[in-house]
């Protein structure tokens, strides 16, 4: 039983270290290059509306593959693009039709849960990437919280608290095991009178 607990602890520690190193690498490399953070070539985006339900639930995180050539998409593809009205707003909808306007490719899009197509065709240059089907439900609420000032502060402090807690726990376990060993040795040693 102790061997199983020991190996579980080691596996957890190794996994924790790998995740921390991978996350740090992703954040630092994206900051150095000036791009958004990527994991294995994908960007994570949170979905805050129900326009693509039931396939993509509100509050989900989706992985999108950044667009190298925004003119290559076809009808039926799900793309993430900058809103025409506000470039800071990203929308993920399905391509319903492809049009050429002033010799530029435009996509007519629609949310799967919407009754009608979006009112304006989207210029291909507004496309950020495409969705390949990877989604994690409800994690998007946490990512949105991270983008607030309070979220950033908490997520900077939380790993430190976890590391201190883990250090205290392992120290306590080590001391307990030494005391247990000393007690066992004391009880096994012959007593002299």
**How far is the C-alpha of 55 from the C-alpha of 105, rounded, in Å?**
26
Write the CB contacts of 70 (distance below 8 Å, at least 6 apart in sequence).
Answer: 105, 124, 125, 126, 127
**How far is the C-alpha of 117 from the C-alpha of 19, rounded, in Å?**
41
pTM of the model: 0.60
DSSP reduced 3-state for 76: coil
Q: Is 67 a known active-site residue?
A: no
For residue range 45-94, what is the model confidence (pLDDT) as tens digits?
A: 878 888 888 888 888 888 899 888 888 999 999 999 999 888 888 899 99
Q: Which of 26, 30, 49, 83 is catalytic?
A: 49
pLDDT at 31: 58
Mean pLDDT along residues 94-106: 92
């Amino acid at each position: 039983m102790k061997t199983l607990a020991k190996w579980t602890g080691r596996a957890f520690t190794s996994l924790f270290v790998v995740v921390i190193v991978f996350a740090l690498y992703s954040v630092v490399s994206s900051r150095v290059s000036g791009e958004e953070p990527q994991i294995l070539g994908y960007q994570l985006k949170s979905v805050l509306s129900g326009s693509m339900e039931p396939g993509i639930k509100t509050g989900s995180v989706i992985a999108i593959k950044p667009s190298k050539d925004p003119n290559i998409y076809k009808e039926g593809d799900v793309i993430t693009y900058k809103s025409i009205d506000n470039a800071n707003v990203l929308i993920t909808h399905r391509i319903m039709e492809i049009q050429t306007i002033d010799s530029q490719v435009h996509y007519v899009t629609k949310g799967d849960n919407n009754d009608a197509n979006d009112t304006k065709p989207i210029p291909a240059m507004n496309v950020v990437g495409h969705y390949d089907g990877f989604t994690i439900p409800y994690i998007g609420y946490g990512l949105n919280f991270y983008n607030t000032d309070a979220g950033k502060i908490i997520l900077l402090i939380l790993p430190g608290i976890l590391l201190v807690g883990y250090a205290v726990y392992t120290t306590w376990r080590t001391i307990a095991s030494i005391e247990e060993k000393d007690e066992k040795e004391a009880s096994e040693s012959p007593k002299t009178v």
